[in-house]
Amino acid sequence: MATIELGPGDGRLLVRTGRSGLGRRAGHDLVIEAARWSGTVTLAGDDLAGAAAEGSSVRITVPVDGLEVREGTGGVLPLSDQDRAEITANLRKVLQADRFPEITFRSTGIRGTAAEFTVEGELTVMGRTEPLSVRAAGGDRVTGEATVKQTRWGIKPYSAFFGALKLADDVRVTFDLDVRPG
């Protein structure tokens, strides 16, 4: 059995948003990075080849106040530092960071091969836990993604201009991690 501790030095966890509504051209598609996070991968075997074996697990914790806006594409005007600060403040308000300071993912099963696998698990956001499937591939570096439908976790997607500009309900969580033991 091998345990791998992970954090920001091992790779990136990103949240990618899109826009909807009549005013979508005015807003930005965002890339939000988990600048602070921690994770543990426990392998049933001694290496990644045994990752899909029974007994392997993944746990990730992201502090809500560790989420930072990195990029904004599209929109009428470029994303400014003031925009980033306002979006970050809004994000923390929407996710109720004062009441629910962490987002967690805990695996319930892993299936596939070391080259391509699916991690079934439970994502907890704002105190609400729902199942989530994460698709991943790799070896020493693991990349993958999952689609999170905000309303499923009780999150009302941000809107402005009386609903003409809305954040799309589906956000895409992506990751690129170095998971070599030691």
Give the range with max mean pLDDT: 14-18, 32-36, 86-90, 110-114: 32-36
Distance separating alpha carbons of residues 41 and 114, to the nearest angstrom: 13
Distance separating alpha carbons of residues 26 and 47, to the nearest angstrom: 48
Which residues, at least 6 apart from 142, have a Cβ–Cβ distance to it below 8 Å?
Answer: 136, 175, 176, 177, 179
Name the least confident of 38-47, 85-94, 154-163, 169-178: 154-163
What is the domain extent for residue 40?
2-178
DSSP state, 182?
-
Give residue 6's pLDDT.
95
Question: Residue 163 — pLDDT band, cuts 50, 70, 90?
Answer: very low
**Range 43-71 average pLDDT:** 81
Q: Which regions of the chain does DSSP assign to beta strands (E)?
A: 2-6, 11-16, 19-20, 29-34, 38-43, 57-63, 67-73, 102-112, 116-125, 128-138, 141-149, 159-160, 165-167, 170-178
For the question of whether the overall pTM of this predicted structure is more than 0.85, the answer is: yes
Distance separating alpha carbons of residues 179 and 5, to the nearest angstrom: 9
Question: Residue 137 — pLDDT band, cuts 50, 70, 90?
Answer: very high
Number of domains forming the structure of the chain:
1
Domain with residue 136: its CATH number is 2.40.128.110
